[in-house]
Structure 1
Amino acid sequence: MKEESDYRPGGRPLTGRTVLAMLAAFFGVMLLANFIMARQAIKTFSGLDTNNPYDTGLAYNSEIAAAKAQAALGWSVELTRTPGGSATQLTATVKDKAGQPVTGLDVSMHFFYPATSKFDREIVAGAVADGIYSGAAELPPGRWDVELNLKRNGERQFRSRNSLTIE
């Protein structure tokens, strides 16, 4: 039984060379797109987390010693956030091993926006009571990392890094 159809084969036949040319063109476009995107990614972000990674690596042992000295102090630091208008108020409560307030500190708070460094801010917190230090910063909404540095006579006594979400 023979079926009648309107289809009449025409044009060039699909050969192995044609299929090879189509595959080569497809993968060529994909490789070109990947090359362009990888080049842009490297150009816009070097992948370095610090400006001087070599120097940071050399200072690693001193950071370990500072962490041991910090642990030996036995201080407890509580960081609280109070939204207030356009600024975010942060309060650090510092107590020693015996639970007594620690006074006479220079307190700074460095705010890091994980996606880019252009929003980073640093504020100096002032003493509002014995062992209580407070400061305010205007921060856009998002997730932030806050590095709290407590110094006495210019020497770092305590450092902590905390996460903070601004809505």
Structure 2
Amino acid sequence: MITESTNSKKFTGYHATAMIVAFFLVVVAVNMIMARFAVSTFSGTLVDNTYVASQSYNSWLEEARKQQAHGWTASRVTRLKGKVMLTVLQADDSTLQDAQITAIAEHPVGRTEPITLHFTQDRAGAYISRDVLPEGRWKLRITIMHRGNRMALAQEVL
């Protein structure tokens, strides 16, 4: 014989309203937290003035064409005992000797000041930074100069 419990509570409009309000409070709280993290970790600007940057666009394209004409290739940047290392090859896959290489290391979210790295030739075509790069993720803007020719590239190092 099935008996009905007399002390069961009914689901009322008050309960439904409380659940809906609680749901939206959680959604708003999570959005506020995520927005706070987003604003505090990224400045949001790629260039300070897009109009001024657009004026340089054609010269950037011309520079890229010149850079491709050299036929140089650079390896991925790697870490070696806290320093940064890369290898540069010419169009015929021979190593590029006696190049002057510098890099500006920037933290991706701008938490620290940029660090300038100067490279010395370690062995044929391999260059290693004289300076130690702190641990973490960095964006490197690398400039390679050799006999009046210039190559610029950007890489990330972890």
Structure 1 spans left out of the alignment, 5+ residues = none
* Aligned-pair Cα RMSD in Å: 3.9
Q: Which has the higher contact order (CA 8 A, sep 6+)?
A: 2
Corresponding pairs, count: 157
Q: What amino acid is aligned across from residue 136 of structure 1 in structure 2?
A: R
**Alpha-carbon offset, residue 69 of structure 1:** 0.7
State which of 59, 62, 79 in structure 1 corresponds to 2:59: 62
TM-score (norm 1): 0.63
TM-score (norm 2): 0.65
In the alignment, the residues of structure 2 paired with residue 124 and residue 110 of structure 1 have an alpha-carbon distance, to the nearest angstrom, of 9
Moved more, 67-76 or 116-125: 116-125
Q: Cα 1:139–1:119, aligned 2, differ >3 Å: closer, same or farther?
A: farther
Percent identity among equivalent residues? 13
The answer as to whether partners of 1:93 and 1:131 remain within 8 angstroms in 2 is yes
1:61-111 superposed Cα distances (whole Å, 9 cap, x missing partner): 322211111011223445675623xx31525445465947454x5421223
Higher strand share: 1
Q: Look up the match of 2:116.
A: 122
State which of 143, 151, 157 in structure 1 corresponds to 2:150: 157
Describe the SS at the equivalent of 2:33. helix
**Alpha-carbon offset, residue 129 of structure 1:** 7.8
Q: What is the correspondence of 1:110-149 to structure 2 with a 5 Å cutoff?
A: 110-114=104-108, 116-118=110-112, 120-126=114-120, 133-149=127-143
State which of 25, 32, 49 in structure 2 corresponds to 1:29: 25
**Alpha-carbon offset, residue 38 of structure 1:** 4.4
Q: Cα 1:150–1:91, aligned 2, differ >3 Å: closer, same or farther?
A: same
Structure 2 spans left out of the alignment, 5+ residues = none
